Amino acid sequence: MAKQETILDVRDLSVRFRTREGVVRAVDGVDLSVRKGEILGVVGESGCGKSVTAQAIMRLLGDARTEEVTGRVVLDGEELLTKTEKEMTRLRGRKLAMIFQDPMTSLNPVFTVGAQIAEGPRWHERLSRKAAGRRSVEMLEMVGIPSPAERAKQYPHEFSGGMRQRAVVGMALSGRPDLLIADEPTTALDVTIQSQILDLLRDLRDRTGAGMIFITHDMGVVAQLCDRVAVMYAGSIVEEAPVKELFKNPRHPYSQGLLASLPVLGSHARLRPIEGRPPDLMRLPAGCRFADRCPFAFEKCVQRPPLMPAGPEHRSACWLEEEKKDD
């Protein structure tokens, strides 16, 4: 498992938005990698840059006047950031695909679900209408929609919320992509439906061997679905570890705070929230961005900590790691 081939490699990715009030550093020097058949969880609170990171990888941030994307995004040996829009159009759907939060707005209400799933294969693989139709039924079956042939002829409004999200997953997988990015795909769903979709995603990963980036704010979902986790805070990754390691042994004070803020079933201990709130992305401190909320902050924290080794495959951007090493 550990020696699996890397499918996506992101180095020093930064996204800046120019606004009238100033420059927003939404993503600042993010490094990530995803292996084949691996689910990488990217977890963080609103405004931490997790969704912007996904959009940058998909090259969905286009407006050069207001958005500046730098760094490297290498998918299966190909650099994505230097690709033209035309080249990206050929890649999207075939090499990498994305699932969004709201299943309703990701489907066009005036076309049948089958036609929408067939669109990608018809375009990318030049499949005939018939073959593409067969593919869409195959996809609906794969995502667990009963009587897929009939369902393919229906319109999105005839699907329930959970079914719609299944169809969206089917659509994303119809081009057999190597990488699937899912941006909060279960946030709009009820828990019972969410657990069905999580089961589905886990099952699909096993069957297709695609790599997956799963973006969420929900630590519970991360624990149940992901293999590895990157915790983001104020535009940067602050901790990265295999999922069991992160929950058993969280090293960064922000990850620790996040876990302590979470009500856990069966425990009625008083929650220990992180005091204060995240910094303004327009006025980021020069040093550690978590320092002003951190219970362990010390002199060294006026410098920005890089990700430092904190265990096997475990890295944390905190000066405490250096202290521990010195001891």
Partner 1 sequence: MTESLLEVNGLKKYFPVKTGFGRADQSLKAVDDVSFTVHKGETLGIVGESGCGKSTLGRVLIRLLDPTAGSIRFDGVDLLESSSGELRRMRRRFQMVFQDPQSSLNPRMTVQHILEEPLRTHGIRGGERSRRVRELADAVGLPSDALKRYAHEFSGGQRQRIGIARALALNPEFIIADEPVAALDVSIQAQVLNLMMDLKKEFGLTYLFIAHDLSVVEYISDRVGVMYLGKLVELGDRDMIYREPLHPYTQSLLSAIPVPDPEHRGERVSLKGDLPNPVHPPPGCRFHTRCPYAQERCRGEVPAFREIAPGHHASCHFAEDIREQSPGQANSL
Tell me which residues touch partner 1 (CB under 8 A).
45-46, 160-163, 190-196, 198-199, 217-225, 243-244, 247, 257-266, 268, 270-275, 277
Do the beta carbons of residue 272 and residue 260 sit within 8 Å? yes
CB of 243 to partner 1, least distance (A): 5
Give me the long-range contacts of 259-264 (CB less than 8 A, separation at least 24).
259/219, 262/219, 262/220
CB of 142 to partner 1, least distance (A): 18
Q: Which is nearer to partner 1, 199 or 322 (CB)?
A: 199
Count Cβ atoms within 10 A of the Cβ of residue 286 and give its class: 0-12 exposed, 13-18 middle, 19 or more buried: exposed
Q: Which is nearer to partner 1, 61 or 246 (CB)?
A: 246
d(CA 162, CA 159): 8
Q: Which is nearer to partner 1, 66 or 160 (CB)?
A: 160
CB of 192 to partner 1, least distance (A): 5
Residue 253 CA, distance from chain mean position? 22
Q: Which is nearer to partner 1, 128 or 261 (CB)?
A: 261
CB of 164 to partner 1, least distance (A): 10
Q: Which is nearer to partner 1, 178 or 184 (CB)?
A: 184
Q: Which is nearer to partner 1, 266 or 312 (CB)?
A: 266
CB of 190 to partner 1, least distance (A): 4
CA distance readout (Å), 14 to 173, 237, 286: 28, 12, 16
Q: Which residues contact 25 (CB under 8 A, 6 or more apart)?
A: 14, 15, 16, 235, 281, 282, 284
CB of 70 to partner 1, least distance (A): 28
d(CA 53, CA 261): 25
